[in-house]
Amino acid sequence: MSEWRQENIYNSFNCEMKGLLYSPWYKAIANGKFLPPIEASIDMMPMCNLSCDACNAGRYIYNNTDKGIMSKDYVEKLIRFLGNFKVKSCCFGGGGESTLNKATPYAIRLCREVGMDAAIITNGTVLNDDLLDAFMKCRFISVAVDAGNAVTYEKHKGQNMFDRVMSNLYRIAEEIRKTKVNCDLCYKFLITEWNQHEILKACLEAKRIGVKDFYVRPANYDHQGIREEVKRKYHYDIPAIEEQFRQCKELETPEFRVFTVTHKYNEDYTPKKDFSQCYGAPVCIQICADGFVYFCVDTRHIEFYKLGSHYPDPENILNFWGGERHKELVFKTGKDNCTSRCTYGPYCAQCEALFINKNDPMCWSFT
């Protein structure tokens, strides 16, 4: 089953196609001279107000303290450095709930000021006028809902906030329509054993609210960030899931897109790794609130994958980006020590096939 309609083939979730835009970075990686990363993934704080069963950052944000909240002064120093470093974008979120940090709206606006795009991944539980205004500066806003009703949401995310999130989504969607900004609002649905039969219900809710995108993909309980006490095997009813995928696609209009993203998985929805080494990892820099930079978004807070410190001086990044330790992880040891679904798997495979192997399978110099 196609993951998107033909008219939507040029979309942000199509890694197989989008990754080809990164060929200059791939070529540099293959030559051992890493360019400044395309994106900076920034965790503004290592805490969250939910406790989702399938949180891939749960291992280090669960029961955390105030340690590691980025201050407004440091955020300014960091983002101005990234702009000077020629990073193209910053995405806030993933390793904690960024909207809980009061400096996040300022950070988003500053990205635009220094010439970078901005985006945010959030649980959608927090929204005020300052955040709403800053959100309109984002290229996309991804809201992790992972449920189609309040009962499921509360049972597996720990708080009775489903209605609040739906209200916030509607408010954001209305503001996007009113201001006519180029911002994609996404209702994200991570498939788990407990929500797999309400994908269609969630899609209907997303369309009712007026978001632009409904994004659904399988979870991965083997991810290194999953808390040990919740790691378990899960059982997917794949025929039922795929039937819901089909029904969701029937709801599509030019204003409402559905993405059933499975290209990073095998047929049984187990994670797929069809590459030899982590060649694509340097397209992004993972900056965490603990003051350190890690190898990639899937290896946050794992000591083995720590590259170096960015705090208190972001300029220190220049001392290890593309250094010997970085290259060792890319070319030798990164994949072997990783158990996670790979966010950048398609990029790793492309870099390997097109530049590492040097056999020019696409005859790129011919039109």
- Got the DSSP string for 208-251? HHT-SEEEEEE--TT-TTS-GGG-------HHHHHHHHHHHHTT
Q: What is the pLDDT of residues 234-290, one digit of tens each?
A: 789 999 999 999 999 999 999 999 999 999 999 999 889 999 999 999 999 999 999
3-state DSSP assignment of residue 153: helix
What is the value of pTM for the model shown?
0.95
pLDDT digits (tens, 9 = 90+) for 33-67: 999 999 999 999 999 999 998 888 888 776 555 56
User: Within 10 Å of residue 261's Cβ, how many Cβ atoms?
Assistant: 17
**CA distance linking residue 60 with residue 345, whole number of Å:** 23
Burial of 178 (0-12, 13-18, 19+ CB in 10 A): exposed
In this structure, how many other beta carbons lie within 10 angstroms of the beta carbon of residue 7? 9
